[in-house]
Structure 1
Amino acid sequence: MPGIRRRGFLAVATGAVGAGALALTGCTGDSGEPGASAEGDGKPRRGGRLRAAFAGGGAGETLDPHLSNLFADVARAKALFDKLADYGPDLSARPRLATSWEPDAGLTRWKVTLREAMFHDGRPVTAQDVLHSYRRITDPDKAFRAKASLEPLDLAASRALDARTVEFVLKRPTAEFPNVVAAFGAYIVPAGVQDFDKHPVGSGPFRFVSFAPGRSAVFKRNDDYWDGAPYLDELEFVVANEESARINALLGGQIEYAHELNPTTARAHEDRDQVRIVRLRNSAMQSFVMKTDRPPFDDKRVREAFFLIADRKELVDGALSGAGEIGNDLFGKGYEYYAAGLPQREQDIDRAKALLKEAGAEGLEVTLDTSPVAAGFTEAATIFRDQAAKAGVTVKVRTGSKDSYWKDILDSGTLCSYRSGAMPIEAHISQRLLTDSTTNATKWQHKDFDALYQQAQSTRDKEERAAVYERMQRRLHAEGGFLVWGFADWIIGTARNVRGVETKAPANSLDWARFDKVWLA
């Protein structure tokens, strides 16, 4: 029962790090800087322990940053480790351990200069550490998160020019090289370190204290951090897999940060004084996938008809409880290179009927695969089923397993529910829309489209490159396989005394779950 599981969470958190970790004294700052008021006006103050609750991965959890898959893994990794670059609010790459990157004329060699930074054991971060980290990630016998993202690098030919300069050799022209080094999971670790669970050593804003897989992790402030010491004395991650456990722990004063709340919970508490609700806009694309290589969606007239069937506002209001904004059949609203100038597509049932008739698809029946694997999926499927009926289309909703859904729908079926977190638009194209993309759920396979992507990657001038990306998006908007109906908010709850949580950072970006800039008022 939910109540038993909630009590279980609190007992686990206490048992992992001692009862004192959950005492209320842990949430107040000590002798903070003058001028900080109860409402957070004035300067940030130092001190205190912040306790953050995330859904976890059980006893098999690890602090190995190259194995980060869950949000909890990534949040812990970014507290302990750094990358050469990371993604800003618009998902463009921002320098981190790298201070600069410069390409040669052909965009096949990039020289990266490292900043002066230290690992937690006092060693400097060097070019050799960078090469070691990337070679570890790309080990063919391992399944590390960033392996596919680092594929453009020829690491056998890449070399350290000196202690703080790396020359990366690439297999082909890659104008978006900064996205490669900012890739999810591309953390820099010290050469020679293999054990990341007993005493992980990184260069991040917090140092390791303790780790109990599936329970908690405790870190302390790194006073020597290159980007400035965190305000918090300590940061504790606790595991609470149920959303109800996270919000109840927050309301009960046992944590100060609850990750991933649902829209109903947010609405219930947004106008109250107990907690703060933080909405990270444009964090998750919500869509339906149409398989473009098989009937009925191998006919672009049918795909256009389905674009016109969708009432996007009704989907956002009904499936997301209004916690998001409508989409326009393109990924990456608000991100760098997004084709914002294209007209917003509106529902047009009469035009949809005409297109279906023209395609010989009157009275069409289609199965929509969905699953409770993600919030809003089953609700959106039901809403779209009813919208399609207005155009004479019978949609049969088929609910699949949460455990195998993503694998099941990659190659099978014809229509399915789909979601994606934030990533650069270029990465979305390369991973999902090229002929040889390994996660090409829409089966969009066009050699001329592949050639446009290569043209963009070979174009040094950014404005000219943006024009190529816009051309690609115009085609996807007209005849692609992603029916993008919305972009969901990512919702976080915090205690009233928590300050510094960035509100313009989509999940997966640099400032999401960035606890070195958070303080307790």
Structure 2
Amino acid sequence: MHDMTPRHRPSSERFPGLRRRGFLAASLGALALTGCGGSGDGGGADKGGGAPKRGGRLRAAFAGGGAGETLDPHLSNLFADVARAKALFDKLADYGADLSARPRLAEKWEPNKTLDRWRVTLREATFHDGEPVTAEDVLYSYRRIADPKQAFRAKASLEPIDLDASRATGQRTVEFVLKRPTAEFPNVMAAFGAYIVPEGAAQFDRKPVGSGPFRFVSFAPGRSAVFRRNDDYWDGAPHLDEIEFVTANEESARVNALLGGQVEYAHELNPTTARAHEGKGQIEIVRLRNSAMQAFCMKTDRPPFDDERVRQAFFLIADRAELVAGALSGAGEVGNDLFGKGYEYYADGLPQREQDLDKARALLKRAGAEDLRVTLDTSAVAAGFTEAASIFRDQARKAGVTVEVKMGSKDSYWSDILDGGTLCCYRSGAMPIEAHISQRLLTDSTTNATKWRHKDFDALYQQAQSTRDKAARAAVYERMQRRLYAEGGFLVWGFADWIIGTARTVRGVETDAPANTLDWARFDKVWLA
């Protein structure tokens, strides 16, 4: 038995400055969370190197969700939720820095020849109560997530699995029966929110039991959560004695707490803050590259963007370097109208698209769209959106296009622009390119914001999923991306850095992991010097 008695005062008592700022809910918006992979213990604030040191408590400040927060890993929606969930729980697989699936609780996986059955072997791991992680726990977890009466985040990701037909073939082996060939089934196991919980577990906020690197100590929703090192963790005991997650919604509150020594880790800083403190010696700035796609979304099913020449003209209107410099304050890199720069299967052989106003005007003329007027929906819902809209409006004017910027509500923006309007600001967090295609670019995708609906494109996706040879599968994905590059509806102008601040005593923060990957917000490999 382990001592579960809370021994620490709530964070609002110890950090009054954070309490005064309030605990306003933070929305992920389109920065969808997914999984992760790989395991790193270098980089980030590890400027001096040296062997990891054991002991101490690290306090990490995240924006939170107020009194409605939960430790139920299947309900994780905010970044704070996911950071807490990965401290307490594990998934079968998770994403590496290139967004390929890496084994976690699953020691190995093997498909049949037709890719519609996968045999998964679990590693030897135990839950915090000492019970082994079994195949029945896995099936219970997935069936709980798939419950049609619930709204668990990973439900759509698990859709390819026939859970009625899937079964345990041993204590540590599961045979997953799929509804169709799925070459990228490891991505399903790594899906955001697909955590494994003990069979029968339903309540998680009082004494949650997982198999993760930390054990539960205390939880005050909207205030703090304290977890203690799990010495029996299958991937090696954490270096830290304890991790405390502190809620601080305003970026200024997180920064001030870091500068004042009240926390050692501050999540989600803006580029202006990073520039003000980088290299000054008081705190360390960690930039996670390629963490968020920044784009304009063109609706391909309605005028004027139902004409591919107009879409191609807009590709050529954009000055991507100017957008990155102005909208992201330089904290990012230019995009090339494709999702997933640097990720597995990314078509990096295509020429970098540059602004060409003369060619853009010629395309618009051939499309009969001279003197075009179009409304660009934007909102303060995400950093850089309003700035990007203003910059692009000025760029379009040089090509004879009038862009009218329309400000939308932060509360309803994502639902409003999913089906409405013709042109909007858009962003997405890290996920596999295959998941981006399946969730956003197939005819029946539920978040198909560009209304890209082409049966031949759907058929290529199914071909890729039915192709066992990885090189052949990569060739199909490249063919699909070339089509999107030529005539798609996403004008991807940049990829934003995700910025974290740490105290100078913090070591082992991974710098090569985009947000939403395993090594992002992962504290079992971090230590205090």
* TM superposition score category, shorter chain reference: over 0.9
Q: Give the distance between the partners of 1:40 and 1:271, measured in 2 at CA.
A: 15
Q: Give the distance between the partners of 1:8 and 1:232, measured in 2 at CA.
A: 25
Greater CA deviation, 41-50 or 486-495?
A: 41-50
Q: Is the 8 A contact 1:84 1:181 kept in 2?
A: yes
Amino acid at match of 2:483: R
Amino acid at match of 1:131: L
Matching residue of 2:323: 315
Q: Which of these residues, 465, 468, 472, is aligned with residue 460 of structure 1?
A: 468
Deviation at 1:271, TM superposition (A): 1.6
Superimposed CA distance per residue, residues 104-150 of structure 1 (whole angstroms, 9 cap, x where no aligned partner): 01000000000000000000000000000000000000000100000
2:301 matches 1:293: yes
Identity %: 84
Matching residue of 2:396: 388
Amino acid at match of 1:298: D
Q: Give the distance between the partners of 2:83 and 2:75, measured in 1 at CA.
A: 12
Q: Which of these residues, 416, 419, 423, is aligned with residue 415 of structure 1?
A: 423
Q: Helix, strand or coil: the match of 2:338?
A: coil
Change in CA separation of 1:152 and 1:272 when aligned onto 2, cut-off 3 Å: same
Q: Helix, strand or coil: the match of 2:162?
A: strand
Q: Give the distance between the partners of 2:422 and 2:122, measured in 1 at CA.
A: 47
Amino acid at match of 1:120: H
Deviation at 1:11, TM superposition (A): 4.3
Q: Helix, strand or coil: the match of 2:436?
A: helix
Q: Give the distance between the partners of 1:38 and 1:348, measured in 2 at CA.
A: 43
Q: Helix, strand or coil: the match of 2:350?
A: coil
Superimposed CA distance per residue, residues 343-364 of structure 1 (whole angstroms, 9 cap, x where no aligned partner): 0000000000000000000000
Matching residue of 1:265: 273
Matching residue of 1:498: 506
Matching residue of 1:144: 152
Q: Give the distance between the partners of 2:233 and 2:457, measured in 1 at CA.
A: 44
Superimposed CA distance per residue, residues 51-82 of structure 1 (whole angstroms, 9 cap, x where no aligned partner): 00000001000000000010000000000000
Matching residue of 2:180: 172
Q: Give the distance between the partners of 2:303 and 2:49, measured in 1 at CA.
A: 60
Matching residue of 1:79: 87
Q: Helix, strand or coil: the match of 1:516?
A: coil
Q: Is the 8 A contact 1:81 1:188 kept in 2?
A: yes
Q: Give the distance between the partners of 1:9 and 1:104, measured in 2 at CA.
A: 57
Q: Is the 8 A contact 1:9 1:240 kept in 2?
A: no
Matching residue of 2:59: 51
Q: Give the distance between the partners of 2:486 and 2:222, measured in 1 at CA.
A: 46
Matching residue of 1:22: none
Q: Helix, strand or coil: the match of 1:476?
A: helix
Count of aligned pairs? 495
Amino acid at match of 2:361: K
Moved over 6 A (4+): none
2:474 matches 1:451: no
Matching residue of 2:112: 104
Deviation at 1:38, TM superposition (A): 10
Matches within 5 A, 1:242-281: 242-281=250-289
Amino acid at match of 1:142: Q
Q: Is the 8 A contact 1:368 1:416 kept in 2?
A: yes
Deviation at 1:10, TM superposition (A): 3.1
Q: Give the distance between the partners of 2:16 and 2:452, measured in 1 at CA.
A: 46
Matching residue of 1:219: 227
Q: Which of these residues, 41, 44, 49, is aligned with residue 49 of structure 2?
A: 41
Q: Helix, strand or coil: the match of 1:225?
A: coil
Q: Is the 8 A contact 1:434 1:449 kept in 2?
A: yes
Amino acid at match of 1:369: D
2:352 matches 1:351: no
Q: Is the 8 A contact 2:291 2:497 kept in 1?
A: yes
Superimposed CA distance per residue, residues 220-245 of structure 1 (whole angstroms, 9 cap, x where no aligned partner): 00000000000000000000000000
Normalised to the residue count of structure 2, the TM-score between the two structures is 0.92
Superimposed CA distance per residue, residues 246-282 of structure 1 (whole angstroms, 9 cap, x where no aligned partner): 0010000000000000000000000211100000000
Q: Give the distance between the partners of 2:412 and 2:240, measured in 1 at CA.
A: 40
Q: Helix, strand or coil: the match of 1:502?
A: coil
Q: Give the distance between the partners of 2:320 and 2:46, measured in 1 at CA.
A: 41
Normalised to the residue count of structure 1, the TM-score between the two structures is 0.94
Point out where structure 1 has 5 or more consecutive residues left out of the alignment.
Answer: 14-36
Matching residue of 2:132: 124
Q: Give the distance between the partners of 2:181 and 2:61, measured in 1 at CA.
A: 42
Deviation at 1:485, TM superposition (A): 0.1
Deviation at 1:7, TM superposition (A): 7.5
Deviation at 1:193, TM superposition (A): 1.2
Change in CA separation of 1:192 and 1:59 when aligned onto 2, cut-off 3 Å: same
Q: Give the distance between the partners of 1:510 and 1:489, measured in 2 at CA.
A: 17
The one of the two structures with greater contact order (alpha-carbon pairs below 8 A, sep at least 6) is: 2
Point out where structure 2 has 5 or more consecutive residues left out of the alignment.
Answer: 1-11, 22-44
2:76 matches 1:68: yes
Q: Give the distance between the partners of 1:166 and 1:71, measured in 2 at CA.
A: 30
Q: Is the 8 A contact 1:9 1:239 kept in 2?
A: no
Q: Give the distance between the partners of 1:309 and 1:510, measured in 2 at CA.
A: 37
Q: Helix, strand or coil: the match of 1:259?
A: strand
RMSD of aligned alpha carbons: 1.6
Q: Is the 8 A contact 2:46 2:508 kept in 1?
A: no
Superimposed CA distance per residue, residues 475-511 of structure 1 (whole angstroms, 9 cap, x where no aligned partner): 0000000000000000000000000000000000010
Q: Is the 8 A contact 1:39 1:497 kept in 2?
A: no
2:360 matches 1:325: no
Amino acid at match of 2:370: E
Amino acid at match of 2:285: I
Q: Give the distance between the partners of 2:50 and 2:360, measured in 1 at CA.
A: 56
Matches within 5 A, 1:482-521: 482-521=490-529
Q: Helix, strand or coil: the match of 1:121?
A: coil
Change in CA separation of 1:211 and 1:7 when aligned onto 2, cut-off 3 Å: closer
Q: Is the 8 A contact 2:513 2:520 kept in 1?
A: yes
Change in CA separation of 1:12 and 1:104 when aligned onto 2, cut-off 3 Å: farther
Q: Is the 8 A contact 2:112 2:118 kept in 1?
A: yes
Deviation at 1:8, TM superposition (A): 5.1
